[in-house]
Amino acid sequence: MYNPNLPLVYHPNYSFSFDPKHRFVVSKFARLKSYLEQQGLIGENLHQGPVGHYSDLELVHCEQYVRDLYHNELCPKAMRRIGIPWSKELMARTFTAPLGTYLTASLALENGVACHLAGGTHHAHYDFGSGYCMVNDLAYTAERLIKEKRVHNVLIFDCDVHQGDGTAAMLTHNPFVFTCSIHCEKNFPFRKQQSDLDIGLDPNVSDHEYLRVVEATIHDLLEQLNPDLVLYDAGVDVWQEDTLGKLDISWQGLEKRDRIVLNACNQKGVPVATVIGGGYDKDHERLAKRHAIVIEQAAKI
């Protein structure tokens, strides 16, 4: 039975007309919203954050970088590293989504759990973008909440198949944010950064070992840190058929992983905000359903 009051966050500018053959599926955000509507999970519980501006992200990013990005003044090499062609529509969603993650975290603090229908751009660094990520919504949200004194400490629990290198690098000197990344070691980014806790898994790890690691880690960290908030990056690129994954996690394994993390936070009484993270699939409808897993599991709490 789903909870119809689970706070969800979405903005219409998350999806726009874009090359359907590109690996980064921009339509997945709108498809995700549509699927959740079909499942009866969207009603008055849907929240929309404000449209963002590059100045908002100066809290955590280099002022020159975000200004040049917004005005399409980055050099071609920097844009190639990001991997998505520049457009005004892309900039609108790029600077809006971090505010959506912040709103999701705020709603989680009020309600215990909340889910963002986007977010998880963990490859963005202080002064450059990488791996389809231009600005870092996780670092922005954690830093802003701490600066506003709404929380004392935050755990970023990143289960995307790729290491959260940008998040780790941007928050390395912040003693109030603990970064944990559980990822495939032999995968992008090939130059890893140092999180507070990195667990690099061998390729082809399957459900049993993966879920054992996730469960032990989340329980240990909640016990040790007693965080005021968990930001959970529920990347679905660990799935066995993901085109950029390299792990062997079943669909049922994804469901169990998200249930483990969400239940652990709930049992400990720690608010948790979820973001969808990475996922790659030529079947765009199937991809949207994969991203819906964490929201469906949250709605069952």
188 pLDDT exceeds 80?
yes
Pair 8, 47: CB distance under 8 Å? yes
Predicted structure pTM score: 0.97
Average pLDDT, the chain: 97
pLDDT, position 2: 83
Question: What whole-number distance in Å separates Cα of residue 83 and Cα of residue 36?
Answer: 29
Question: What whole-number distance in Å separates Cα of residue 145 and Cα of residue 119?
Answer: 16
Pick the CATH number of 25-50+97-299 from 3.90.1150.10, 3.60.21.10, 3.40.800.20, 3.40.1280.10: 3.40.800.20
CB proximity list for 181: less than 8 A, separation 6 or greater = 158, 160, 163, 164, 167, 168, 195, 197, 198, 199
Beta strand pairing call for 8-9 and 46-47: parallel
pLDDT tens string 205-234: 999 999 999 999 999 999 999 999 999 999
Domain boundaries, the chain: 25-50+97-299
Nearest C-alpha neighbor of 258 from the set 283, 222, 228, 292: 292
